[in-house]
């Protein structure tokens, strides 16, 4: 059912979020009261109640809150199970806004209604996400996808995130001050996502640069039919990637789609150092044996200094060189100069197996993401680290905020390839694979 209104007032949006935060806090108080009487430490009911309440508010407000839910849901080791399940809805669709609100946006942006610009324009959204929703339109026999931004999203973003932060940190269970740089990074990326003029530029830049990649097709974009709040591109036919995954597509086709995904991210990250940083299945279609990436709203640019230091960790020789590995972690700020020898050892013992595991595809001429043990090992290691009390006691910002979207992209990529059960040839830069 279409949502007929969206709160645009910063005060009212903050009140909604604060109310949800208060409900979460009240549920915790009830849990601890019950625990003191029964001694039962099972938090399942607590997490389920809180997850439903939080997602309901986030999905109604859209914008920053819903985007945070989407980001958190990609790494299922980061959240308790009920939150991961509830928040995963944000990866696919959110309740769409009603047509009169769409008309209002067109009048504000173009001084015209949708049917004054297009021959046809669907009143119901084809899909709805965190920042905007997509409508299908036709003009002179050509079919377009028209993305319309939700009212008030950009104006309320900073206020929303300031209120969402303590809720998210309580869910994750991390130290608030140590997370500040990462929330600033999220804020910067989300502000970019609300700027459809920037998205138009980035979309044209990346699709042109990646146009030579095999097995991939991109939409064209139309500046004259776009503004800072409305973005028009070709309508792309195809099956959403998550639906394709559930089909009985033969392994050869799955492998082609998986190879296209790997090549798409590999080229952007290692050649362009500017990449599509939103790897959830709702952003990809499959048309026959062709991958169609959509929505370049969330992109991340990394500089050469961070890129070199980060991917230096993947060099095989470092796994056998503890001194060199420690220096690499120090250069990235994962180990801090103020850390005690005991703290350094805790970090080394945690990061070393993680790097070894995540780097396996980089060290193989052929890699089978259909091997369920690989992703199972990643999830188990993530769960083990999330429960590590020694890690939680470490203070200070660890690592670069730039790693947030890079790690998110690789985790999302690995997850998609695993769900595809794809066997690929993971070509990587030669300098990483030094002897």
Question: Each residue of 43-73: pLDDT tens digit?
Answer: 556 556 666 666 566 555 555 556 665 555 5
Does residue 18 sit in the same domain as residue 166? yes
pLDDT value, residue 435: 44
How many structural domains compose the chain? 2
pTM beyond 0.85: the answer is no
Does residue 297 sit in the same domain as residue 396? yes
CA distance 57 to 72: 16
Is 1 part of any domain? no
Identify the domain containing residue 380 by its residue range.
Answer: 238-435
Spell out the residues 6+ positions from residue 296 whose beta carbon is closer than 8 angstroms to its own: 199, 202, 203, 206, 207, 276
The region, left, alpha or beta by phi > 0 then psi within -120 to 50, assigned to residue 429 is: beta
Residue 230: beta bridge partners?
148
Does residue 363 sit in the same domain as residue 266? yes
Mean pLDDT estimate for the chain: 80
Q: Would you call 191 exposed, middle or buried from its count of C-beta atoms within 10 A (0-12, 13-18, 19+)?
A: middle
Interhelix angle 63-74/176-193, nearest 10 degrees: 110
pLDDT value, residue 143: 98
CA distance 134 to 150: 11
pLDDT value, residue 183: 75
pLDDT value, residue 407: 87
Question: Which residues of the chain, if any, have pLDDT below 70?
Answer: 1-95, 129, 156-179, 386-388, 391-397, 433-435
pLDDT value, residue 216: 97
Q: Would you call 182 exposed, middle or buried from its count of C-beta atoms within 10 A (0-12, 13-18, 19+)?
A: middle
Strand runs labelled E in 47-186? 120-121, 127-128, 132-139, 142-149
* Segment holding 263, helix H or strand E: helix 251-267
Could you tell me the two tokens for 376?
């199972």
pLDDT value, residue 22: 46
Is 60 part of any domain? yes
Does residue 435 sit in the same domain as residue 308? yes
Is 223 part of any domain? no
Does residue 282 sit in the same domain as residue 166? no
Spell out the residues 6+ positions from residue 420 whose beta carbon is closer than 8 angstroms to its own: 245, 254, 257, 258, 261, 369, 370
Does residue 278 sit in the same domain as residue 393? yes
Is 226 part of any domain? no
Give the end of a domain, one of 129, 144, 173.
173
Is 79 part of any domain? yes
What percent of the chain has pLDDT above 70? 69
Is 118 part of any domain? no
């Amino acid at each position: 059912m279409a949502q007929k209104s969206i709160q645009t007032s910063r005060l009212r949006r903050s009140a909604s979020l604060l109310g949800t935060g208060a409900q979460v806090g009240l549920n915790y108080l009830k849990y601890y009261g019950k625990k003191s009487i029964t001694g039962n430490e099972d938090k399942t009911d607590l997490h389920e109640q809180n997850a439903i309440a939080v997602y309901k508010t986030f999905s109604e407000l859209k914008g920053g809150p819903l985007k945070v839910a989407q980001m958190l849901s990609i790494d299922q080791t980061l959240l308790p199970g009920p939150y991961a399940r509830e928040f995963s809805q944000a990866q696919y669709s959110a309740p769409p806004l009603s047509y009169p609100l769409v008309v209002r946006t067109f009048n504000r942006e173009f001084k015209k209604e949708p049917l004054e610009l297009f021959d046809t324009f669907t009143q119901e959204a084809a899909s709805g996400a965190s920042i905007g929703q997509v409508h299908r339109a036709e003009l002179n026999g050509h079919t377009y996808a028209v993305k319309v931004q939700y009212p008030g999203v950009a104006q309320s973003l900073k206020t929303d995130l300031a209120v969402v932060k303590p809720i998210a940190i309580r869910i994750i269970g991390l130290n608030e001050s140590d997370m500040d740089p990462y929330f600033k990074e999220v804020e910067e990326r989300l502000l970019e996502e609300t700027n459809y003029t920037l998205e138009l530029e980035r979309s044209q830049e990346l699709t042109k640069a990646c146009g030579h990649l095999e097995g991939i097709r991109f939409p064209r974009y139309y500046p004259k039919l776009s503004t800072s709040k409305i973005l028009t591109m070709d309508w792309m036919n195809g099956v959403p990637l998550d639906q394709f995954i559930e089909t009985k597509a033969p392994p050869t086709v799955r492998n082609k789609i998986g190879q296209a995904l790997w090549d798409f991210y590999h080229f952007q990250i290692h050649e362009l150092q500017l990449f599509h940083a939103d790897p959830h299945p709702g952003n990809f279609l499959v048309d026959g044996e062709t991958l169609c990436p959509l929505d370049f709203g969330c992109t991340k640019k990394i500089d050469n200094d961070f890129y070199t230091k980060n991917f230096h960790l993947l060099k095989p020789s470092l796994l056998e060189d503890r001194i060199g590995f420690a220096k690499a972690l120090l250069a990235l700020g994962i180990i801090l100069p103020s850390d005690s020898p005991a703290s350094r050892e805790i970090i080394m013992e945690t990061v070393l197996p993680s790097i070894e595991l995540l780097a396996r595809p980089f060290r193989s001429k052929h890699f089978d993401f259909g091997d369920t043990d690989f992703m199972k090992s990643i999830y188990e290691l993530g769960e083990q680290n999330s429960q590590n009390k020694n890690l939680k006691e470490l203070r200070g910002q660890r690592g670069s905020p730039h790693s947030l979207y890079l790690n998110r992209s690789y985790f999302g990529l690995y997850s998609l390839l695993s769900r595809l059960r794809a066997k690929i040839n993971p070509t990587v830069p030669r300098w990483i694979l030094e002897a």
